[in-house]
Amino acid sequence: MTRRKPVVCVHHSPDGWVLPDYTDFADCTTNYRREQDGRPACTSTAVWKVVEDYGLHLTIGFYCDTDLPDEHRHHPAA
């Protein structure tokens, strides 16, 4: 059985992303790991939204410019 690669969509919004319930702006997704590692939380605006479509489910991550994983950096910085 081959594992399907997710379809990845990377979106950029210079003002950050509002959460689906419109209560707040999305925080940098790396904060979950930072908390586990005991590092301070990222306070940068999460300007990148990365949607990975695995067919059965979606994962959505938000990243500031510094924390965007390299594999999602398809576009040269404007």
Least gap, CB of 72 to Zn ion (angstroms): 13
**Whole-number CA gyration radius for the chain:** 14
Q: How far is CA 63 from CA 16, 34, 36, 66, in A?
A: 9, 13, 17, 8
Least gap, CB of 39 to Zn ion (angstroms): 11
Give me the 29-68 binding string for Zn ion, x by CB under 5 A, dash otherwise.
-------------x-x-------------------x--x-
Shortest CA distance to 62 belongs to which of 37, 31, 22?
Answer: 31
Which residues of the shown chain bind Zn ion in the complex (CB under 5 A)? Answer: 28, 42, 44, 64, 67
